[in-house]
Every structure is written in structure tokens, then in C-alpha cells.
Amino acid sequence: MSVQFLVIMVPVVLGMMGFAVDLGRLYLIRGELNQAASAMAMAAASQLNGTIGATDLATTAANSTLDTNQYNFGSVTIGQGTALLESTAPSPAFFDTVANALAAVGQTTPASTADGTTARHVTMNLSADAPLLFWSLLTLGQSRKTSIAAAAVAGVSAPVCTACGIDPYAIAAVDSTEPINFGFTPGNLYTLGFNCNGNPALLPGTTAPALKYLIIDRYNTGIPFDETQQLFRTGSQGLLPSTTPGLACSTIGNMEAVWATTITPTLNCAAGTPNPSVQNAMCGLSARMTDPTQFNNCNLVTDIATLATAYTADTDVQTETDYTVYTGNNRRVLTLPIVDALSTAGTMTVLGFRQFLLQPTTNFATASSNNPSDGDSRFVAMYLGVVAPVKQGSIGPACGVTSGPGKVVLHQ
């Protein structure tokens, strides 16, 4: 009897083992595909900056992740496949609302409902063949493979309450009672100048009023960069990464102080003579459009020749009269904290964050740049309102704003 029982149970046990092996592999591959779809959707959504070419850039960004997105234990590249296993990675589909993006999940060829100027969300559908081992002995598995689908939806979130990696130039709202644009006019070119000698003169082609700014304090004594280098780096890329949110981020409702050392308490500048610290930041700002080592006054930045190599110019450094035709990589998009009033006493309350496009200064001898030696550290920027997602940030706790830049998040 025991022998007969063993004869019966051996194939049953082997069948269960085969079932477990194949099922485990299917779950693994589904997880790999979901991870790949999420990475592609997030990469695409990060390029949705409100320009005509945004969807093309987003598609390129999504496809650039394919080489690092393999499945089946890393043996098959998604979108390429093998002689046995096929996989497809259609172009992402773009939508203006989350609801439309979610509705396109699982569709073989979803139709995008938004162009680059209105796209805020992206749907990424993937499908791939998974190999069958033991199930291939069954009638339903004779093809030795089965198809698995995965999808992800990513897009720009609701307005963030805390924004990280933004640019440290605090400007006062023209109208703090107007919560959408704070009194700024979309499409207008503004002169931004350091708050030192009264009202800075308007640069050519800009609209009154001139916007005075102060650099918010993010001097970090715990990193191996001196103050000149930190100012250059924040001018070039925004607030520096840090495990301390107070150094890397700014929060709506919080108070901001002016950069802690040489800028305060007297602001340390005179007519025609730029503040040295602000000049260092201006050199960093120029790195967004050109090589800052060509400016003699940027030699004040310690080891400028080496530091500058870490920051390349934007891929589009043209003067733009229509933001939607901008084709760059967002190096020139500035996300600035808007405060109630400028103050050197640490009482500037952040009202929100708004975005500008840095422009070349037309009266400056060097094309495609701002002027680091300008006495009032002025530069030109086009007010955009809310366009590109911020690098990082936090949506909660609720800060009471209904307008402002968001960050890239996964919806599914």
C-alpha cells in the first residue's frame, strides 16, 4: 500500500513543485515589469515642463531607462526581447488630468489627450512574455510562455508645502493678497536685483517694477565646501542636498533669514560694487548659460576651474519671448520662494513658490549670460507662474495653498 501511495504522490508533489516554480517566476517578472513601468513613468513626468517639446523630451527620458530595465533575472531587456520571449514598450501617453491617465491603464494604444503645454500626467503600459517550465508540459502552456502586463501612472502632484533644491533668491510678492500669481504677470520679463542700494535700475526689455531679492541663509558648516563654493553651487543648481531638511528645503509659512555671514548685517555693498558673496552666487547663475571661468571676478570662488566643470550650460540659452518654445533641460527654470516682505531681520514669511525662466542680459557684452560683475547683481527672468515640477518636496501637512509647483509622484 505504501509503495502504491508513493507512486501516486510523487507526480503530485513534483507537479506542485513545478507549479510553485513557475508561479514564483511569474510574480517575479510582474514585479520587474511594474518597477520598469514606474521608472519610465517617473522619468517621463519629470520632463513635463509646459513647453511644446515636453512630450518629446519625456518620451526620450522614458526610453533612456530601458537599458537598465531588464526582466527574467536580468536576462531580457524590455522592448527588445529574445527569440523566445517578446516584450513591448510603447511610447508613453500624456494627459492633463489624473483621471484620464488612470483610464488609459491597460490600453494597448492609449490616445494622449494633452500636448506638451498641457500634459501633467503620463501613463506607461508594458507587456512581456514570461517563460514557462513545468506548465509547458500542459496543453495550455505548450507555447512555453505567457504574456504579462504592467502599467504605471505618474504626474505632477498638488502644490508642495515644502520645496527642496529650489533657488535661494527670495523676492517679495507684488500683491500678497492675490494667491495665484502674487501680482506678477505671466510672460513678463522682470529685472531681479540684490536688495542693497534702493531700487535697482531696470535692465533693457524688462517690465516695472524691478524685483529686489535677498539670498536665503543655507550656509552649511558641515560640508567640505567653503562659503564661496557653496554660494556658487546654490547659484548654479539651487539649494544643496542635505539630510537636514532645513538646509535643503524651504517651507510655506516658515520665516527665512538672509545668508548668514558676509551678506549681513549691513548687506556689504555700495553703488557700482557688487556684494562679494552675491557675486559668487551670480557666477553660479551664469553657469546655467555659459562657462563662468571666463569672468575674472568669478576667480573669487575657490577652485572655480574645477568646480565649474560639474555644471554644464542649459541646452537652450536663447532669449525666449514665448516660454512654450523653450527646448532646454530646465537648467534655466528658477523656482523662487515668494515672501511677504524682504527683511534682514529673519522675519521673511514664505507665502509660496513660483517659477521664472532665466534670460540672457541683452546689454551684457558676453552673449547668453547674466553679468556677474553687475553692481546690483541684476539678472533678467520671465515670470512663468507654475510650470515645471520641483526636484523634491512634501505635500503635507496642509499649508493652505491651492496654487504652486508640485513634484513628480506615482499614482499607480
* Cell numbers describing residue 74: 536580468
In sequence order, the β-bridge partners of residue 107 are none
Q: Which of 3-12, 74-83, 106-115 has the highest mean pLDDT?
A: 106-115
In sequence order, the β-bridge partners of residue 192 are 211, 379
Distance from the first to the final alpha carbon of the chain: 55
Residues 259, 114: Cα–Cα separation, whole Å: 42
Q: Are residues 219 and 335 in the same domain?
A: yes
Of the three residues 156, 172, 194, the one that is the final residue of a domain is: 156
Q: 66 CB contacts (<8 Å, ≥6 apart)?
A: 36, 40, 77, 78, 79, 89
Question: What's the predicted TM-score (pTM) here?
Answer: 0.88
Percent of the chain with pLDDT over 70: 86
Residues 286, 279: Cα–Cα separation, whole Å: 10
Q: Are residues 142 and 179 in the same domain?
A: no
Q: 377 CB contacts (<8 Å, ≥6 apart)?
A: 193, 194, 196, 274, 275, 278, 279, 281, 282
Q: Are residues 249 and 149 in the same domain?
A: no
pLDDT at residue number 195: 78
Range of the domain at 372: 162-394
> Is position 364 within any domain?
yes
Q: Are residues 171 and 42 in the same domain?
A: no
Of the three residues 126, 156, 186, the one that is the final residue of a domain is: 156
Indicate the SS3 state at residue 373: coil
pLDDT at residue number 13: 44
User: How far from 218 is each of 234, 256, 336, 392, CA to CA, in Å?
Assistant: 9, 10, 14, 17
Percent of the chain with pLDDT over 90: 58
**Mean pLDDT score of the chain, rounded to an integer?**
86
Q: Are residues 355 and 386 in the same domain?
A: yes
Q: What is the pLDDT of residues 383-412, one digit of tens each?
A: 999 889 999 999 877 888 999 999 999 997
> Is position 399 within any domain?
no
Q: Are residues 264 and 321 in the same domain?
A: yes
- Please tell me the total count of domains within the chain: 2
